[in-house]
Every structure is written in C-alpha cells, then in structure tokens.
Amino acid sequence: MMLVVATGEWDELVDRLVATTALPAGVARRVVEEVVAYCGESAEEFIRRRHHELQSGGLTNAEAFGRIASELVARPVAAPPFTERQVRRAIYG
C-alpha cells in the first residue's frame, strides 16, 4: 500500500532525512511515504495482509491467527488487542 505524501505535508521530515543521511530528496520523500503508509494501515488491513503473507509462507490458519494476534500488540500505532477469533473474523467476515 503506497500513499502519496502531499507536497509540504512532510517536508520538515524529508529535509531532516536529507540533512542527516546520504539520501537524495526524492528517495527521502519515498521513504517517508512508505513509513506513513505502513503506520497508517488499519488493524483490519494489517490482519488481511499478514494472513496472506503467512499463508503464502506455508503457515496453517491456526498458526497464522495466533501469530497475527501477537504481532498486533507490537504495531507502531498500536491496535487494540485482538483475539484469534477477531483476527479470523477480520479475514473471513
């Protein structure tokens, strides 16, 4: 999920990255866009994305549901605690 950061919206952070790293401004802006998108992902979007990733990696649903529930606690923008049943419902409705 890529979010386009409006010009001016995160300029101070982009300027800081340019000043403190070797990143050119265009790359710094793309980094900021990616971080904003990552942190802006809703719990439900995260659950569906991670479930797909874990299934693709060969985990069973039982393994994936528990892992997703524990990962939600460590999200940069913390989601409320989800039970495995709530994780399952977010995926399948």
pLDDT computed for residue 41 by the predictor: 86
- Residue 45 to residue 48: CA distance in whole angstroms: 5
Residue 38, Cα to own-chain centre: how many angstroms? Answer: 3
pLDDT computed for residue 7 by the predictor: 60
User: Is pLDDT at 8 greater than 90 in this prediction?
Assistant: no
Predicted model pTM:
0.64
Instruction: Name the residue with higher pLDDT: 39 or 62.
Output: 62
User: Is pLDDT at 92 greater than 70 in this prediction?
Assistant: yes
Task: Give the DSSP letter of residue 3.
Answer: -
First to last CA, the chain: 21
